[in-house]
Amino acid sequence: MKNNNFELNLLAEISKVLTENSNPSDIVLLLSKIFSDFADLSKLSIFIYDENTKLLKDYSKSWVVIDEFHKNFYTDKLYIALANFSQWDFYINDKKFKTLDFKFSGEIKLTKDINKILIPLKRKNKPYGIVELSFSGDISKLLTYEFFIALSVVSYQLSLKIQNTILAEQMQTNIDFHDAMKNIAKIIETQYELNYIIPLIGEMIDRFISEHLVYIFLKNEKNGKIELFWPRACRDKKILSAVSKVNTKSKITLLDDEKIGIFPLIGEKTLLGCIVAHSNVDKLTKNEIEYLEQLSKQSSITIHRAEVYAEVLQHATLDALTGLNNRRQFEMRLKQEYSTAKRQHKPLCAMMIDVDFFKKVNDTYGHNAGDCVLKNVANLIKAGLRDYDIASRYGGEEFAVLLPYTKIEEAFAVAQRLRQSIEKAKIDISGEGDVDVKPISVTISIGLYQFKSEDSLEILYQNADKALYDAKTHGRNKVVIFK
């Protein structure tokens, strides 16, 4: 222990640390070293009371909430401080004293076995935190009026430093929030694909509240259920149960001691889904809730716009009658699959299909019946293909199919199954004209061709079309491979 004017040295060194450092863990470590030079210090800790979450946090651990035992112990001390801030200045071994008690020797009796001093940190003369000094040796001679005056100055300097840190973090949070809002606004202007948009929104929000887990749920229009869209998994049953109850009238919901927040996504009075923020440690603060509410509103606009665009795009890429890809979309997919097959040296087959004697169906039963036949044939084609096969209405009664990663032998087997299933089908056209008309049957002809590495893009479906022509001119209701 050093006694030569050590209070001034103590203040000088602490001032230097607070001036030159901003990281909380570095500050606590350096302050500990300084106090260790003047006394047998075993530990220095700083705890801050967070008014937003009503929790005590360890300043040195970037605001991580301390364990339950110490939280209760120090929170009790803080409650006393908040209620009686003008009546005490510090604790020595859990007994409160005022600095003036040490101004005159003999007015206060202390034992030699002193191992802990608690000093309040004040903001506007009200305590909001505690500095804990734990010692391993006898420091009774150190406890002078001058020493506690020095500690008061240290408390004042440290309070300013911490308040500036908190203010800087709040300012950075505001900056991050406005950046997130601007970025989501940019997405609104430039992106329409939900598979691209949702991960971006999720990552932006995740960076904004990095200490919380973020989930984005969207409504599945097919089954009406709210399903997880991003990330891939959520195993918290409380969240899944709460999300399933979200509807257009739902407001922000806080669960699990305010550690889980559910923010509905509403677009044009329609439920789109919800955003969930979840923490295993801390509560959502008032500011975070307000920010997430605004981010959810902005995200709702983005998602709603993407869904409207997807609907328009669907009509632009799908054939209105059959629901298959239209010719424009077929040509786009043809380019993609052609490039993939050529780059990866993978097999690719094209299939051209035509409904036999279709003109006779129109002439006999009318165009509505003809449309009914085309819809039924399209549904049978779709049902007979694999998920990754690409079926399109090429024009009139003609259909085009791309079969990626498929050799000609496999394509022939698929084509034969399609031909047989359509030949066996009975198509009910009674609702399209004469109610007494019996179900009718139609057949199809199919031409096949397998892509070769030297082929151009057009050759792929042109050769399949030539094979189709051969099938039509040699009896119909058959599959022909181009040779």
Mean pLDDT of 390-409: 94
User: Is 234:250 a contact under the CB 8 Å cutoff?
Assistant: no
Residue where the block lists tokens 């629901």 = 323
E strand or H helix at 159: helix 145-190
pLDDT of residue 1: 43
Is it the case that residue 239 has pLDDT exceeding 70? Answer: yes
Residue where the block lists tokens 């084609």 = 381
Q: What are the backbone dihedrals phi and psi of residue 261, each rounded to the nearest 5 degrees, phi first?
A: -120, 130
Is it the case that residue 381 has pLDDT exceeding 90? Answer: yes
Q: What domains sit in the chain, N to C, each tagged with a CATH number?
A: 6-168 (3.30.450.40), 191-317 (3.30.450.40), 327-481 (3.30.70.270)
Residue length of the chain: 483
Is it the case that residue 100 has pLDDT exceeding 70? Answer: no
Q: Which two tokens stand for residue 223?
A: 């089954």
Is it the case that residue 10 has pLDDT exceeding 50? Answer: yes
State what percent of residues in the chain have pLDDT above 90.
33
pLDDT-wise least confident of 78-82, 201-205, 324-328: 78-82
pLDDT-wise least confident of 50-59, 213-222, 320-329: 50-59
pLDDT-wise least confident of 85-94, 168-177, 364-373: 85-94
Average pLDDT of the chain is 82
CA distances from 112 to 6, 92, 249 (A): 20, 12, 66
pLDDT tens digits, 457-468: 889 989 999 999
Return the DSSP state at 281: S
Q: What is the pTM of this model?
A: 0.49
Distance between CA 216 and CA 286 in Å, rounded? 21
Distance between CA 455 and CA 466 in Å, rounded? 15
Is it the case that residue 379 has pLDDT exceeding 90? Answer: yes
* CA angle (393, 396, 402) in 5-degree steps: 25
pLDDT of residue 451: 93
The winner for highest mean pLDDT among 150-159, 210-219, 277-286, 413-422 is 413-422
Residue where the block lists tokens 């979840």 = 278
Residue whose C-alpha is closest to residue 453's, from 346, 350, 352: 346
Distance between CA 457 and CA 452 in Å, rounded? 10
Encode 11-37: b = buried (16+ Cβ within 10 Å), e = exposed. bebbeebbeebeebeebbebbbebbee
Catalytic residues: 397
Is it the case that residue 169 has pLDDT exceeding 60? Answer: yes
pLDDT of residue 2: 46
